[in-house]
Amino acid sequence: MDLQTFCQELPKLELHAHLNGSLSRSTMTFIKRFLALTGMADESDVFLDEFQVGPSDTKNLSESARERGLICCFIISINRNSSKEDADVIVDHAIEYHTKYPDIVVGVELSGNPAVGMFQDFVPALDKARKAGLKITLHCGEICNTQEVIEMINFKPERIGHGIYIHPKFGGNDTTWDLLRNSRIPVEICLTSNVNTKSTPDFNSHHFKEFYNANIPVVLCTDDKGVFSTSLSQEYHICGETYGIEQSKLARLSLKACNYIFAEDVRKILTEKILNFINKNEL
């Protein structure tokens, strides 16, 4: 099986995708045509900059995805430009939805402009979410800020996103690197996103190689598939082609990702699906 076909057919898990950045170009084109046909003008050429999900909508979105063979869960975002009070309100909503739909709303994350806000300001809200049973993931090391990286890793989130400026070769230091290696915190890796945003010059220079070779738990993700014109299959293809990772190891990369899913009740389902693929193809 050629690499492209393999990456398309391999069952995969997407653990780092922003909903408002995941609309494909074809979907955007369809919506614009629909708006034009119905006479609804879009003067700003902006389709969506904020996606609000009510309790009933959350359940409907998840059920609609399952009908298409997808298992869909939600992580509620706190933007770094939020005030402490706003962060608290967001977490209260997350807890409310998690209580009603524990298999759908599964976590809380901190993201946004990494140069804005202080991580410690959001710790009380994140602590509240954790105590309510929600998992935590943090966008970490998107810019060179070793003190914040140390604080975030010491907070012991269930996952971190990106992790660019952690290794000494990429703007981190021995302390941040040793902390991550010893913590065994899984890292959500976004290859195309990091290259397109110039966080890393090219795929060959990406920190994935250091993480993978150090046996740090990693998960390949898209970040914003619509914005960066990518797909999870494409991310696996880039990984295999760029770093020379053979198909059997790519399959096990997907399999190991099952251990890092926040929705624990679906781990067995997805693990069995990937194992069946591995056995069927004698990988």
CA 272 vs. chain centroid, Å, equals: 22
Tokens of 83: 């005030």
C-beta neighbour count of 39 within 10 angstroms: 6
* Residues belonging to the active site: 142
Alpha-helical segments (H) within 101-169 = 119-131, 146-155
CA-nearest of 184, 182, 91 to 130 is 91
Q: Is 184 left (phi over 0), alpha (psi -120 to 50) or beta?
A: left
CB 79 within 8 A of CB 234: no
Strand locations in 71-143, DSSP E? 74-79, 105-111, 135-140
Angle at 30 between CA 27 and CA 36, to 5 degrees: 140
CB 225 within 8 A of CB 241: no
